[in-house]
Amino acid sequence: MNEFISLDPSELSQPSLHHYLLSAVAPRPICLASTISSSGDINLSPFSFFNVFSSNPPIMIFSPARSGRDNSTKDTLDNVAEIREVVINIVNYAIVEQMSLSSTAYEKGINEFEKAGFTSVESTIVTPPRVGEAPVSFECVVDNIVPLGTGPGAGNLVIAKVVMIHVNSKYLDQDRRLDTTQLDLVGRMGGVWYNRCSKEALFAIPKPNSQLGIGIDGLPGFIQQMNYFSGNELARLGNVHVLPNIEDEIRINNNGIIHGNREAKKNEILLIARQLISENEPNKALSLLMKNEAIFSTSQEDQ
């Protein structure tokens, strides 16, 4: 039995609430926001309260929060209130340490491009420069700034519309599309933790059946109840449009014959079904299981 603790946010200290929120809502993408003040000071800071929220119009939102310590506002927020422009630079593993260094609370007027050793590249449309080392940069105009509160830790949504996109061509595939396996993006977890989306760490999930899967509850009862397959495996099985015709021929091993006693046969069938699921062959896995349903029914001798 799983046990849960239940927490009322109004009874947690601000640091504790911050911990639960940020450790659970993770990994979060990281943007390096480049802004400029009305007196021309350039600022660069990372934000993981960040995402894209619309592609038509192309909208990104990030949130420079009020300091949890002294309730002060961040230079980034002050800057976008003055000059309503920002360049959102995407962070990958190659620049993750420089990104972290740029989060240092340097005094107003200190240029974090220089502190963190980034190349400042002139933007095409907006005034703040972009980060030359970023795999992708989005020049944006600020549509709206929405304060979410006035106390320590209160976020401020900076709603930014993308007006120009710069992509380092080394991350493009032959169709000029971004190659996820090459981008090596990083995400922010709770505390000091990050994650790295290297090629080895990625996996693909076949898109849900466009013809509507039967669902786990549509699988034959003996499969739902056998307590063998994980939720992920059952979901792949439940993604089939219709249950397979069990008369279809299915090769279950080299010679098509499963040897051994009933228990050994059962285990072999389950192992093969699991293998077929992992190879994204749910129909074959289902027809193998359904063909052998009798072997899974609990009989007198099993008890």
Ligand X SMILES: Cc1cc2nc3c(=O)[nH]c(=O)nc-3n(C[C@H](O)[C@H](O)[C@H](O)COP(=O)(O)O)c2cc1C
Q: According to CB under 6 A, which one of 29, 34, 61, 74 is a site residue for ligand X?
A: 74
Q: According to CB under 6 A, which one of 34, 37, 45, 89 is a site residue for ligand X?
A: 45
Candidate ranges 43-51, 124-132, 134-142, 202-210; the one touching ligand X (CB under 6 A): 43-51
49 DSSP 8-state letter: S
142 lies in the site for ligand X, by CB under 6 A: no
Candidate ranges 40-48, 82-90, 226-234, 253-261; the one touching ligand X (CB under 6 A): 40-48
Q: According to CB under 6 A, which one of 48, 89, 92, 239 is a site residue for ligand X?
A: 48
Nearest CB to ligand X, comparing residues 48 and 292? 48
Provide the minimum distance between the beta carbon of 26 and ligand X in the complex, in angstroms, as a whole number. Answer: 11
89 lies in the site for ligand X, by CB under 6 A: no
First to last CA, the chain: 25
178 DSSP 8-state letter: B
Q: According to CB under 6 A, which one of 26, 103, 111, 189 is a site residue for ligand X?
A: 103
Q: According to CB under 6 A, which one of 130, 188, 236, 266 is a site residue for ligand X?
A: 188
Nearest CB to ligand X, comparing residues 43 and 239? 43
Q: How far apart are CA 83 and CA 299, in angstroms?
A: 76
Candidate ranges 42-50, 82-90, 171-179, 231-239; the one touching ligand X (CB under 6 A): 42-50
Candidate ranges 7-15, 99-107, 198-206, 247-255; the one touching ligand X (CB under 6 A): 99-107
Handedness of CA 125, 130, 134, 137 (dihedral sign): negative
Residues found in the chain: 303
Provide the minimum distance between the beta carbon of 295 and ligand X in the complex, in angstroms, as a whole number. Answer: 53
Q: Please, what is the angle between helix 262-278 and helix 282-291, to 10°?
A: 160
CA angle 16, 18, 20 (to 5 degrees): 70
Q: According to CB under 6 A, which one of 7, 25, 105, 205 is a site residue for ligand X?
A: 105
Assign 81 to helix, strand or coil.
Answer: helix
171 lies in the site for ligand X, by CB under 6 A: no
* Residue whose pair of structure tokens reads 């389950």 in the numeric block: 270
64 lies in the site for ligand X, by CB under 6 A: yes
Nearest CB to ligand X, comparing residues 45 and 137? 45
Number of residues that bind ligand X (CB under 6 A): 17
Helix (H) or strand (E) segment spanning residue 147: strand 136-147
What Rg do the C-alpha atoms of the chain give, in angstroms? 27
75 lies in the site for ligand X, by CB under 6 A: yes
47 lies in the site for ligand X, by CB under 6 A: yes
Residue 241, C-beta contacts closer than 8 angstroms, at least 6 positions apart = 209, 211, 212, 213, 214
Q: How far apart are CA 147 and CA 12, in angstroms?
A: 22
Provide the minimum distance between the beta carbon of 193 and ligand X in the complex, in angstroms, as a whole number. Answer: 10
Query: Measured between alpha carbons, how far is residue 65 from residues 149, 193, 257, 295 in Å?
Result: 9, 20, 64, 60
Provide the minimum distance between the beta carbon of 47 and ligand X in the complex, in angstroms, as a whole number. Answer: 4
Q: How far apart are CA 36 and CA 111, in angstroms?
A: 10
Query: Measured between alpha carbons, how far is residue 12 from residues 21, 22, 49, 139, 299 in Å?
Result: 11, 14, 21, 38, 54
List of residues contacting ligand X (CB under 6 A)? 30, 43, 45-49, 63-65, 74-76, 100, 103, 105, 188
